[in-house]
Structure formats: structure tokens, C-alpha cells
Amino acid sequence: MSTYAARTIDELKNEYAAVKGHYEDLKARALSLNMARGKPGKAQLDLVSDILTVLTDPAQCVSDGIEARNYGELTGLPAAKRLFAELLGCKPEECFIGGNASLTLMYDTISKAYTHGLLHSEKPWCKEEKIKFLCPCPGYDRHFKITESFGFEMINIPMTPTGPDMDLVESLVKDPTVKGMWCVPKYSNPDGIVYSAETVRRIAAMKPAAPDFLLMWDNAYCIHEFDGDFVPFDDILTLCREAGNPDMVFEYASTSKITLPGAGVSVMAASVDNQKYMESLLTIQTISYDKVNQLRHVLYLKDKENTLKLMKKHAEIMRPKFQCVLRWLDTEIEPLGIASWQRPKGGYFVSVNTVPGLAKRTLALCKEAGVVMTGAGATFPYGKDPQDSNIRIAPSLPPVEELEQAMDVFCTCLKLAALEQKLA
């Protein structure tokens, strides 16, 4: 089998006829499959549903002397802070425990920067003429939507196999209107890249011109290995403190992909000074988050050792799905030279980069054949992929047997798009 680039027009026409025929067969199956979002599948939900029974007795509801059922304790239960601090490698007093969504804590941080300013802001960001934000990409669409929603100018930062292009980042942060940067440091969304220790150190040691530069450290996949053992990762709060930037970083994580995605607990980790400042703003927004659910998580997850054991069970469910995706790509696409991809060992995605100009068409063909995927361009700011190349595959939701069909459709559509382009 040779690459498409090496084939003659006649060979490509024959291939087109064969692929088109297979595509029509697939369409005739009237499939309805979804690889759009990093949504855990039913087996993962069932795996963790004992959390529904772990707290049933009112006598269990007192934690460190705090009545979890009543109002109070804005910053969260101490036991929940200890649990997250152990998972993230920071200190309990650096942890603020939120509701079921770390996305909300991220939004609220940026919203408060906009309405009130951060600890070291000269004024609220809504009073600034211009705010720019660095966006390593491909990246997480929901991050970009937040900064887009507040009207910030987003600047694309290319991802490398060791993380964001740090030469570019270090140069751009000299601009005082550059106020922050999005990062998913471990198993980045969507590439699954783990930032190298060197990259993380360079990020922590940045010298931004903006005194209130906001490093948004979304450690969404901090313990989410699906292939191999837990990979230790430096604590960004410590590194920033040691580099003289103690208040530059806010780190986020949640149990959404550890326990129940719709009913988890989130954390925002930051310096104690940042915590005090944010508490002064968040106390206006709420009395306290759901401490009963925090306690449920403490009782269910117990500690890091026990949580990592649970993650191994998630991995057993996830690994075959990623193996399926990679097998299809390796077998059907690799020989054709029309796309490349990372081989992540954790996280929730496989990120495929096609030769330029194929992403939109591939996904349109998938949709027509009943396979819904993350929209083309979604992994870039403003939904604009300059190369029309990146496609995020989210294999977690469908069972493997459905995934086999979905990947058949995907590979067929990618080939078809490539052949259409060649023959146009």
C-alpha cells in the first residue's frame, strides 16, 4: 500500500470508487454514534456508583467538627482540602473546594478578574482597553469560549511534543496587555501531551510584564493515566513560588472523570494570598458549596493511594477504546500519509492532524453517516483552525463495539476527503 501522494490519478480514481462504495454501505446502516465529547461511558458510571451509598447516616455528616449538612465553610471541608492537596501535591490551605464543575471555578476566576480585578491588578480588566490571552492550540474549546466571551484577544501558541512553544510565550508575555495563558499541562486536551519538566519550569519562571498575569493551569487529567502507572508531575504552585511568582497561578481539577461526571467536586488551588483575595469575592457569590457531596467524595476516595487504584479500574475500561482508535488509524490511515497523531497514555482524546484542508470535510462526511464528532476548528480560538487540519477523537463514551463502527466511518470519511482533494 503506498501513500496517496505517491499514486497516479488512475490509482486514486480506483481508490475513490472503492472508498465511496464502502462509505455508501456505512451510510446505509443508519448509524447514530457519538465521539464528540470527553464523556465517560456507562461502564465507568457503574464502576463508581457505590459513591451513592457511602454516606447515608446523619451521624456520618460531621467532618472535623463541621456539620456538612448545614450552611457554612465557604472554602470547603478540611478533609476535602487534604484529599485534593495530596492528589495535586500542594498544601491543603492552598485548596478551595467548589461545586461540581472546575469549569465554573475557571469562569468565575476570569469573570472576577474582569469585574473586580485580581490580587495584583491595577484595575478591573473591564476597565482595560485591551486584554490578550495566550492559547496553546490545539486546545480545549471550553477554555477558549470563556476568554472569547469576555472579549479578550486570543493568541495562538503552537503546541510542541513537550508543551507550548516557550520561546514564543516568553517573548509575548513582555507585552503588558497579555494578561494570561491557558494550560492543560498533563495529557493536554486534545493532544494528550505531557508538558516536559523543562517546559513547566520555564512557565513557572516567566517574567510577564502584566503584574496580574493569570496562569490558568487546568490539571484536568492529573491522575488520568489509561496506559501504565501514575506519572508524577511537579506541583506548579511550588515551582511558581520558588521562581518568585507565588500569585501568578491558579490550578484547577475535579473528580468529574474520577467519580460521577455530573455530580463531582472541583478544586481551585492557589497561593494563600490568592485564596484570601478570592474568598473576599466569592463570599458575595455563595454561602458555601455542597459539603455533603464533598464528604461523600472524601469517604469514597479516601486518599491518593485508593484513588489511584480506582483510576486503574477506569484505565481498564478506557484502554481498549484508545487501542481501538489507534489500531484503526495505524492500519487504515498511517500507510496513506494523509494524517498524523499522538499516542497518549492518559487523558480523554486522540488528536488527529490531517494534511491541510481535510478536517471540515471529513467531519461533514462523518455527520452524514451518523457519527457525531467535535466540530472542526473547535480546538482553536474562535473555532478557526488555520490549517483546517485538527480533529479531536473522543472515544470514551461509546462501547468498543460501537467504536469499531465509528472508527470505520471516520477512517473512510478521512480517506474520502483526501481523495476528493487530490482529484479536485
What does the binding site for a second copy look like in residue numbers (CB under 8 A)? 37, 39-40, 42, 45-46, 49, 52-53, 55-58, 61, 67-72, 99-101, 103-104, 107-108, 111, 114-116, 124, 126, 142, 145-146, 149-150, 256, 260-263, 281, 284-293
- Compute the residue count for the chain: 424
- Least Å distance, CB 134 to a second copy, is 19
Q: 75 or 245: whose CB is closer to a second copy?
A: 75
Alpha carbon distance 335, 137 (integer Å): 26
Burial class from Cβ neighbours inside 10 Å (0-12, 13-18, 19+) for residue 343 reads exposed
Q: What is the largest CA-CA distance in the chain?
A: 78
The percent of the chain in helix, strand and coil, each rounded to the nearest 5, is 45, 15, 40
Counting beta carbons within 10 angstroms of the beta carbon of residue 287, is it exposed (0 to 12), middle (13 to 18) or buried (19 or more)?
A: exposed
Minimum separation from the CB atom of position 168 to a second copy (A): 27
CB of 317 to a second copy, least distance (A): 14
Q: For residues 32 and 53, which CB has a smaller minimum distance to a second copy in the complex?
A: 53
Complex with a second copy: residue 280 or 331, whichever CB lies closer: 280
Shortest distance (Å) from residue 59 CB to a second copy: 10
- What minimum distance in Å lies between the beta carbon of 135 and a second copy? 15
Q: How far is the CB of 179 from a second copy (least distance, A)?
A: 16
> Would strands 95-97 and 266-269 be described as parallel, antiparallel, or unpaired?
antiparallel
Q: 218: which 3 cell numbers? A: 487546568
CB of 285 to a second copy, least distance (A): 4
- Of 202 and 291, nearer to a second copy (C-beta) is 291
The CB density around residue 61, as the number of other CB atoms within 10 Å, is 15
405 closest CA partner among 23, 40, 26: 26
We find the least distance from the C-beta atom of residue 418 to a second copy, in angstroms, to be 33
- How many C-beta neighbours within 10 Å does residue 221 have? 24
d(CA 186, CA 231): 9
Distances (CA, A) of 228 to 88, 315, 343: 19, 9, 13
Nearer to a second copy, 23 or 125 (CB): 125
* CA dist list (Å): 257 to 5, 24, 148: 41, 36, 26
* Closer residue to a second copy, CB minimum distance, 256 or 412: 256
